[in-house]
Amino acid sequence: KIVWHFQTTPHDGWDYDGVNELVSFDYKEGGKTVKAAATADRNGFMYVLNRENGDFIRGFPFIDEITWAKGLDPKTGRPIYDEAFRPGNPADSKDGKKGSSVHAVPGFLGGKNWMPISYSQDTGLFYVPSNEWAMDIWNEPTAYKKGAAYLGAGFTIKPMNDDYIGVMRAMDPKTGKEVWRYKNYSPLWGGVLSTKGNLVFFGTPEGYLLGLNAKNGNVEFKFNTGSGIVGSPITWEQDGAQYLSVVSGWGGAVPLWGGEVAKRVKHLNQGGTVWTFKLP
């Protein structure tokens, strides 16, 4: 039986499926331990919930701009929609072939997509691989064609900035504030690992495996794997030695659906390797 549920984007008109991971964590507030859980949703908002009963504690943006909603209801966490940014109904158009197009932020690929966030019990921060992109989106009648996408909508993904799309963010779940950020030219499309050694590991489409200082975001480790990293780094131990492993091999949704964004990654090397590093 479902014990509780929480919807992030009810009446979703932008393809912000909230399929993202929910991470359990505890924190102290008012002398009491709060048993919480957090998720960074595709819709651009991060949510902190009571994991015992699903009650909304707080929510806040983790990307720089959101257009589809004016904010979240402070009591329920439900979005306060801006209806001017909801794609139009094709039936309302003159020919019935295309609804009114809107410029929506984030793009449907999400402020964050599948790539897991991580939490550090030492810093009390979440590390969020996010992306700054928008989309023009419109609804259109569905038409089945064998082998083609069956969407009922059209879209174009666009970068928000000339010099970066991906942003690794350290977010404080108690305040909703960003503590530090690391900007990347192309989108971040892999998960993140935070370690007891005060490091945050993640990969980039340019092929770099990065280890950042968990407290301030300074780059402590950088290694190019030869192909874009979509995988999530893991750490493991064998015979008393600690190792770090990551899969390298570019592909997936960004080059397939990325529109204008795909131009930034079309030159990247293909590949398929597993890299393992041993701590000295």
Residue 145, domain CATH: 2.140.10.10
| Both tokens assigned to 199 | 């490091």
Residue of 12, 15, 82, 239 marked catalytic: 15
CA distance 9 to 79: 7
What value does the CA radius of gyration of the chain take, rounded to a whole number of Å?
20
Contact 201, 161 (CB under 8 A): no
Let me know if residue 1 belongs to a domain. no
Let me know if residue 3 belongs to a domain. no
* Residue 82: pLDDT over 90: yes
Range of the domain at 62: 23-70+80-278
* Closest of 168, 148, 136, 151 to residue 261, by C-alpha: 136
| Both tokens assigned to 66 | 């959101």
Confidence at residue 255, expressed as pLDDT on a 0 to 100 scale = 87
Beta bridge partners of 210: 202, 222
Number of domains in the chain: 1
Let me know if residue 15 belongs to a domain. no
Sheet holding 241-248, edge to edge: 234-238, 241-248, 273-278
| Both tokens assigned to 158 | 């666009």
The per-residue pLDDT for range 4-36, each reduced to its tens digit, is 999 999 999 999 998 889 999 999 999 999 999
Let me know if residue 35 belongs to a domain. yes
Let me know if residue 220 belongs to a domain. yes
CA distance 213 to 108: 30
Let me know if residue 124 belongs to a domain. yes
> Which segments of the chain does DSSP mark as H helices, in order?
253-257
Let me know if residue 2 belongs to a domain. no
Contact 216, 180 (CB under 8 A): yes
* Residue 253: pLDDT over 90: no
Confidence at residue 172, expressed as pLDDT on a 0 to 100 scale = 98
Contact 173, 128 (CB under 8 A): no
Three-class SS of residue 227?
coil
Let me know if residue 7 belongs to a domain. no
pLDDT band at 56 (very low <50, low <70, confident <90, very high): very high
Is residue 15 annotated as a catalytic residue, yes or no? yes
The per-residue pLDDT for range 94-107, each reduced to its tens digit, is 888 899 999 999 99
> How high is the mean pLDDT of the chain?
95
Terminal CA-CA length for the chain: 48
The per-residue pLDDT for range 57-79, each reduced to its tens digit, is 999 999 999 999 999 999 999 99
